[in-house]
């Protein structure tokens, strides 16, 4: 009586206390069942049948029902169930087909009450009627279900499923006469207990055996079934045809399913194969378990919620011979662990961002939605407004684009495509590139190009010996070298006054360069000093026109700042400045970073030498010649390249490296250069700028880089004799030891362009084969194959 009162208190107050705990059993458990007082649990297995009291800190063994000297097979339990009205009444299903009832009220040690030996094979499940004290139902491997009245010695009625073995039987909680049974062939049957002749309804619920089912404790007509097909399905049985409401996909076959008390959409599942964990699912969110209990080391065989109105305690028994109490709050929650956001920086600086929508909804709820067209129209899963819940989640995925300057890579592509890296005099390359950069709004870069041009293309850089040499050569036609410098380098750089004279200068240069053969020599010298790899005739033929074009374009660019005016003049004060202060690249770049500062500075500076621009040529010549060694700026340029590279603009670093060529190459260590090259080439290839990438590879001076083109080219050929793929390197076939690259037309070994037919493996010189196939459609080797050349 004392025990009773304690239990009543617990029930009345509906307060259960306890913690996550487990206790070791002597043997693996097959099933567990909880007493209605929620304070005791019975564990049954092949060689265990015990009652444990659930105390706050531990399980305490109360009673061992396995008594008698010789363990009978009747005690080998497949299932156990504790009556939910009578605390003294239990029933077990034995593996030998016997259904046993137990009366704990019996005074003797052996509590066994009744024995029903009507099933032929293992009884898989026993079930008490929820409200009728004496009615017990069993389902067996032999395909029959039997209903027993405990007041009688044998079964009241037998139900034949007319199909395979019965895996589970469950009385409906709401409908007095109804029970459901599940079968190994995937069927679920609904029976009226008064009509044993045929089932009320039958439908195929799963693909493969249906191991378990459970009626919803509140929703009349909701039946959850679990099968070997790893699914849990929730059926609405009230409609004419059983309607599938939800489908949960678990990782392993579902052996047990139990609705969670007080949580309408939750159910717990466990598997008897592979997976040791117990999962609690929200059926509306069928992909991620709401909670997971990972205590067991072997498969879980029995689960039971401790109290029909308490959602937080779950009991479980396992093959690992342990009994556990799980607290819901201690469960690991994969949903919580799951990353609710996806983020990716795209190639073009765009961002792909996926976020949980419930978060989004909350967010936009706070701020009024402006209805701006730019705002994302989020993908929404159609929700039933009658059923709002927080558990379900969907995500919105949007792609964001950077606006110019904000990290978008549009400029990269433009720049890469438009930059000129070689094939023209340095000054032009610099000018061109500066123009490109300016047009793309990258003023700092444009400035840099202009400065580079000034640093490396001004007359002062020409070593005096070289000058004299040129002079000597040039004197033949009496044309001073100065003129060519003037025309080539200074014209676009000089002030507006100079520009007025430009047309005259241009025509002069044209005539000079084209008419006088001696100028060619001068020009060549220029080429040398500028370190460009192009042959002089190329320059003459090709560049001349470009040069003009470039000059002609200039007046069109009426920038308010007149960069053509500003820049060369800025160069002078800058030099003085550097002479005075230690040349810090950061210092330099700081200013460049903020265009306002540098701009205004440039403006003020530009005022001073404006007037002297007429005398610029002579003055600067003298200045450079005497004062500034060519290597003066190399440290600065090196640091600048490093700066750009660090800023992520490896494009600039490489472009400058290529354009300046030997002028800076020696100052930067090989490895860094190589790294820049490879980084840049990698980027170019990502942007699919194959041509640019190829050009960069070609122009690179680093051996490791320039061999990239060869290294990445693979040619697959078959031996023309034995027609098997050539595996080894070289042109000698492994198998027939003959040279495979013979031309089928001229019978010589092909060096250079080789073409071969993939049908017959014959091939040869591209020209020969093309010619041959113009006249004939058959293989030149005479193999009779109809080769096709496309």
Q: Binders of another protein among 265-324, rule CB under 8 A?
A: 285, 287-288
User: 417, 515, 670, 734: which one contacts another protein (CB under 8 A)?
Assistant: 670
CA dist 392 and 281 (Å) reads: 11
The span from the CA of 473 to the CA of 777, in Å, is 61
778 is an interface residue for another protein by CB under 8 A: no
> Is there binding between residue 244 and another protein (CB under 8 A)?
no
* Closer by beta carbon to another protein, 499 or else 665: 665
State how beta strands 59-64 and 48-54 pair.
antiparallel
Residue 343 near residue 353 (C-beta atoms within 8 A): yes
Smallest distance from another protein to CB 644, Å: 7
- Tell the smallest beta-carbon distance from residue 482 to another protein (Å): 40
Selected range binding another protein among 220-228, 392-400, 460-468, 502-510, rule: CB under 8 A: 392-400
Site for another protein in 526-545 (CB under 8 A): none
Which of residues 477 and 704 has its CB atom nearest to another protein in the complex? Answer: 704
Please say which residue, 5 or 339, places its beta carbon nearer to another protein.
339
C-alpha span between 537 and 260 (Å, rounded): 88
Q: Which of 653, 689, 697, 769 binds another protein (CB under 8 A)?
A: 653
How far apart are the C-alpha atoms of 401 and 374, rounded to whole Å?
11
Binding mask 345-384 for another protein (x = CB under 8 A): xxxxxxxxxxxx--xxx-xx--x-xx-x-xxxxxx-x---
Burial of 274 (0-12, 13-18, 19+ CB in 10 A): exposed
Cα–Cα distance measured from residue 217 to residue 220, given in angstroms and rounded to the nearest whole number = 8
Per CB under 8 A, 691 contacts another protein: no
Q: How far is CA 697 from the centre of its chain?
A: 31
Rule CB under 8 A: say whether 168 interacts with another protein.
no
24 closest CA partner among 65, 53, 59:
59
Task: Name the minimum Å distance from CB 598 to another protein.
Answer: 14
Q: Which stretch binds another protein (CB under 8 A): 21-29, 38-46, 52-60, 638-646?
A: 638-646
CB 723 to another protein: min, Å: 22
Stretch that binds another protein, among 79-87, 497-505, 664-672, 756-764 (CB under 8 A): 664-672
CB of 563 to another protein, least distance (A): 24
Residues 567-586 touching another protein, rule: CB under 8 A, are 586
State which H helix or E strand residue 591 sits in: helix 585-593
Tally of CA atoms within 13 A in the half-sphere of 538 that contains its CB = 9
- Is there a contact between 508 and 488 (Cβ–Cβ < 8 Å)? no
Minimal CA–CA distance to 322: which of 48, 32, 19, 24? 24
- Partners of residue 257 on adjacent β-strands: 269
Site for another protein in 181-220 (CB under 8 A): none
Q: Which of 686, 735, 738, 748 binds another protein (CB under 8 A)?
A: 686
CA nearest to 267, candidates 228, 322, 208, 218: 218
Round to whole Å and give the CA distance between 719 and 130: 82
**Residue among 264 and 675 whose Cβ is closer to another protein:** 675
Question: What is residue 408's DSSP assignment?
Answer: -
Minimum CB distance to another protein smaller for 301 or for 673: 673
Long-range contacts of the stretch 438-446 (C-beta < 8 A, 24+):
438/559, 438/563, 440/411, 440/414, 440/415, 441/404, 441/405, 441/411, 442/411, 442/415, 443/595, 444/592, 444/593, 444/595, 445/649, 445/652, 446/563
Of 71, 342, 410, 595, which one interacts with another protein (CB under 8 A)?
A: 342
Stretch of 89-97, 121-129, 512-520, 639-647 lying at the interface with another protein (CB under 8 A): 639-647
Position among 238, 475, 503, 647 found at the interface with another protein (CB under 8 A): 647
Question: Where in 542-571 is the site for another protein (CB under 8 A)?
Answer: none
Residue from 642, 665, 723, 785 binding another protein (CB under 8 A): 642
* Given 96, 157, 163, 398, the residue binding another protein (CB under 8 A): 398
- Considering the complex, state which of residue 72 and residue 672 has its C-beta at the smaller distance from another protein: 672
Question: Which of 2, 57, 384, 403 is the binder for another protein (CB under 8 A)?
Answer: 403
Q: Which stretch binds another protein (CB under 8 A): 74-82, 206-214, 404-412, 779-787?
A: 404-412
Least CB distance to another protein at residue 652 (A): 9
Q: Which stretch binds another protein (CB under 8 A): 159-167, 394-402, 549-557, 565-573?
A: 394-402
Binding to another protein by residue 469, rule CB under 8 A? Answer: no
Q: Is the dihedral of CA 529, 532, 537, 538 positive or negative?
A: negative
Closest contact distance (angstroms) between CB of 166 and another protein is 28
Is there a contact between 755 and 773 (Cβ–Cβ < 8 Å)?
no
- Strand pairing report for 144-149 and 135-140: antiparallel
Among 126, 331, 650, 744, binds another protein (CB under 8 A): 650
Are 71 and 27 contacting, i.e. CB atoms less than 8 angstroms apart? no
Specify the residue, 119 or 206, whose C-beta has the smaller distance to another protein: 206
* DSSP secondary structure code for residue 368 in this structure: P
Residues 252 and 270: their CA atoms lie apart, in Å, by 8
CB of 367 to another protein, least distance (A): 6
Cα gap 639→646, rounded to integer Å: 10
Least CB distance from residue 646 to another protein, whole Å?
6
For residue 594, the minimal CB distance to another protein (Å) is 10
Residue count (the chain): 790
Number of residues that bind another protein (CB under 8 A): 85
Q: Considering the complex, state which of residue 36 and residue 675 has its C-beta at the smaller distance from another protein.
A: 675
Round to whole Å and give the CA distance between 299 and 319.
6
Smallest gap from Cβ 394 to another protein, in A, equals 6
Contact pick of 154, 417, 646, 788 for another protein (by CB under 8 A): 646
Least Å from the CB of residue 666 to another protein: 15
Distance between CA atoms of residues 768 and 598, nearest Å: 63
When the beta carbons of 354 and 540 are compared against another protein, the nearer one is 354
Least distance to another protein, CB of residue 381, Å: 7
CB burial of residue 472 (10 Å; 0-12, 13-18, 19+)? exposed
Report the C-alpha gap between 557 and 492 in whole angstroms: 12
Residues forming beta bridges with residue 135, ordered by sequence position = 149
Is 447 within 8 Å of 495 (Cβ atoms)?
A: no
Task: List the x/- string, 698-737, binding to another protein by CB under 8 A.
Answer: ----xxx---------------------------------
Instruction: Output the smallest distance, CB 532 to another protein, in A.
Output: 25
Shorter beta-carbon distance to another protein: residue 194 or 381: 381
Residue of 27, 63, 67, 409 that binds another protein (CB under 8 A): 409
The total of other beta-carbon atoms located within 10 Å of residue 54's CB is 24
The 10 Å CB-count burial string (b at 16+, else e) for 245-261 is: ebebebebbbbbbbbbb
Q: Which of residues 586-625 bind another protein (CB under 8 A)?
A: 586, 589-590, 593
């Amino acid at each position: 009586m004392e025990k009773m009162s304690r239990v009543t208190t617990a029930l009345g107050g509906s307060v259960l206390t306890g913690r996550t705990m487990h206790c070791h059993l002597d043997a693996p458990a097959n099933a567990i069942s909880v007493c209605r007082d929620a304070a005791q649990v019975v564990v049954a297995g092949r060689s265990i049948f015990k009652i444990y009291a659930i105390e706050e800190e531990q399980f305490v063994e109360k009673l061992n029902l396995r008594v008698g000297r010789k363990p009978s097979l009747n005690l080998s339990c497949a299932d156990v169930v504790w009556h939910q009205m009578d605390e003294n009444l239990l029933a077990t299903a034995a593996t030998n087909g016997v259904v046993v009832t137990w009366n704990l009220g019996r005074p003797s040690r052996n509590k066994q009450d009744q024995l029903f030996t009507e099933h032929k094979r293992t009884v898989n499940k026993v079930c008490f009627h929820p409200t009728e004290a004496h009615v017990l139902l069993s389902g067996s491997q032999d395909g029959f279900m039997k209903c027993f009245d405990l007041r009688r010695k044998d079964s009241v009625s037998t139900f034949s499923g007319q199909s395979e073995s019965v895996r589970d039987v469950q009385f409906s909680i709401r409908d007095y006469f109804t029970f459901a049974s599940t079968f190994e062939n995937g069927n679920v049957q609904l029976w009226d207990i008064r009509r044993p002749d045929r089932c009320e309804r039958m439908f195929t619920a799963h693909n493969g055996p249906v191991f378990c089912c459970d009626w919803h404790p509140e929703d009349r007509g909701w039946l959850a079934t679990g099968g070997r097909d790893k699914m849990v399905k929730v059926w609405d049985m009230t409609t004419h045809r059983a309607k599938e409401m939800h489908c949960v996909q678990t990782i392993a076959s579902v052996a047990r399913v139990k609705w969670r008390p007080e949580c309408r959409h939750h159910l717990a599942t466990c598997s008897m194969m592979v997976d040791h964990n117990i999962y609690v699912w929200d059926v509306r969110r069928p992909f991620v378990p709401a909670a997971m209990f990972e205590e067991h080391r072997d498969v879980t065989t029995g689960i039971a919620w401790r109290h029909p109105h308490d959602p937080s305690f779950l009991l479980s028994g396992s093959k690992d011979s342990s009994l556990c109490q799980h607290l819901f709050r201690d469960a690991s929650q994969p949903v919580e662990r799951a990353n609710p956001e996806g983020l990716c920086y795209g190639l073009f600086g765009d961002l792909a961002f996926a976020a949980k929508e419930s978060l989004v909804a909350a967010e936009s709820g706070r701020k009024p939605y402006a209805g701006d067209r730019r705002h994302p129209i989020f993908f929404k899963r159609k929700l039933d407004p009658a059923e709002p819940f927080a558990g379900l989640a969907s995500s919105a995925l949007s792609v964001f684009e950077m606006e110019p300057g904000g990290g978008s890579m549009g400029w990269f592509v433009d720049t890469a495509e438009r930059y000129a890296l070689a094939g023209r005099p340095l000054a032009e390359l610099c000018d061109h590139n500066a123009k490109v950069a300016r047009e793309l709004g990258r003023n700092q870069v444009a400035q840099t190009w202009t400065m580079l041009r000034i640093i490396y293309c001004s007359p002062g850089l020409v070593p005096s010996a070289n000058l004299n040499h040129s002079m000597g050569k040039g004197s033949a036609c009496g044309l001073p070298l100065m003129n060519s410098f003037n025309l080539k380098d200074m014209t676009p750089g000089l002030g507006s006054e100079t520009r007025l004279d430009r047309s005259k200068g241009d025509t002069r240069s044209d005539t000079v360069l084209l008419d006088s053969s001696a100028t060619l020599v001068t020009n060549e010298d220029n080429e040398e000093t500028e370190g460009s790899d192009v042959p002089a005739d190329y320059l003459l033929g090709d560049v001349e026109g470009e040069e003009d074009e470039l000059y002609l374009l200039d007046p069109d660019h009426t920038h308010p700042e007149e960069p053509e005016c500003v820049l060369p003049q800025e160069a002078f004060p800058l030099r003085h400045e550097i002479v005075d202060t230690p040349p810090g690249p950061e210092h330099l770049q700081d200013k460049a970073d903020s265009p306002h500062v540098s701009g205004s500075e440039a403006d003020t500076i530009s005022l001073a030498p404006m007037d002297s621009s007429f005398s610029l040529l002579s003055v600067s010549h003298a200045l450079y010649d005497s004062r500034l060694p060519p290597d003066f700026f190399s440290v600065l340029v090196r640091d600048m390249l490093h700066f750009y590279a660090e800023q992520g603009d490896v494009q600039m670093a490489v472009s400058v490296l290529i354009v300046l060529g030997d002028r800076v190459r020696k100052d930067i260590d090989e490895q860094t250069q190589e790294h820049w090259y490879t980084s840049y080439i990698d980027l170019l290839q990502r942007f699919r700028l194959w041509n640019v990438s190829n050009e960069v590879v070609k122009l690179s001076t680093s051996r490791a880089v320039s061999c990239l083109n060869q290294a990445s080219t693979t040619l697959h050929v078959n031996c023309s004799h034995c027609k098997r793929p050539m595996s080894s390197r070289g042109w000698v076939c492994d198998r027939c030891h003959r040279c495979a690259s013979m031309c089928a037309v001229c019978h010589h070994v092909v060096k250079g362009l080789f073409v071969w037919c993939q049908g017959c493996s014959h091939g040869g010189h591209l020209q020969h084969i093309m010619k041959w196939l113009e006249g004939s459609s058959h293989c030149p080797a005479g193999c009779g194959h109809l080769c096709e050349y496309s």
